[in-house]
Amino acid sequence: VREDDAGRRVGRIVEVEAYLGVEDQASHARFGPTDRNRPMFGPAGIAYVYLVYGMYHCLNVVTEDVRVPAAVLIRAVEPLSGLGAMRAARADTQAARGRRATAIADARLAAGPGLVGIAFGISRADDGRDLCDGTSPLRLERGETPEIVLTGSRVGIEYAPEPWRTHPWRFAVHGSPSLSRPLPRPQRGADGPPLRRTPGVSAGP
């Protein structure tokens, strides 16, 4: 949920990726604490926002206890309300970059980590924000549990060594029209077997 001058925007998170521990060689925390990744080492429920490729703000939710760097990257959101504000934000961003406005389907307004940032007006000002505070202008609210969750390897981390490159730590809601890209590996449902813990890792995503 985003509430600001542009209005109220609500969406359902349909795709995420998990990053866990300093040992995760695909995580920003792999170098230990730095000025940028500091929130990852803080308490769960806090936002970690970073700029990627010099252009897009990506939103993460910190998920583990203090000193255990872990976060979930919000890769895609299915717009539920406030679509006008999302479109306006997109138009503003395109104009600021000297691009002409392009058409996009409602379901695709936040279908990617960079697009989530644009559609929900996320910036470094949100870094460190408490997403569990009911009065926060950017916050999480409980939704329904998806029936089928797809898993796959994380995107854009070809630089990482195994086993991190192929850990199935990308999760997506089966059938959502708002996924960032197809996910090839149908997996367990909500009532299926629990996710297997990875050896050497203190806690699962």
The pairing of strands 70-81 and 56-62 is antiparallel
Closest contact distance (angstroms) between CB of 195 and DNA is 19
Residue 185 sits in the site that holds DNA (CB under 7 A): no
How far apart (Å, rounded) are the C-alpha atoms in residues 73 and 36?
15
Rule CB under 7 A: say whether 162 interacts with DNA.
Answer: no
Selected range binding DNA among 131-139, 152-160, 170-178, 186-194, rule: CB under 7 A = 152-160
Stretch that binds DNA, among 28-36, 130-138, 169-177, 195-203 (CB under 7 A): 28-36
Nearer to DNA, 54 or 200 (CB): 54
Instruction: Write b or e for each residue in 158-171: b if 16 or more Cβ atoms lie within 10 A of its Cβ, otherwise e.
Output: eebeeebeebbbbb
Distance separating alpha carbons of residues 104 and 106, to the nearest angstrom:
7
Indicate the length of the chain as a whole number.
Answer: 205
Find the binder of DNA among 1, 14, 22, 71 (CB under 7 A). Answer: 71
Binding mask 129-148 for DNA (x = CB under 7 A): --------------------
The yes or no reply on residue 60 touching DNA (CB under 7 A) is yes
Nearer to DNA, 148 or 155 (CB): 155
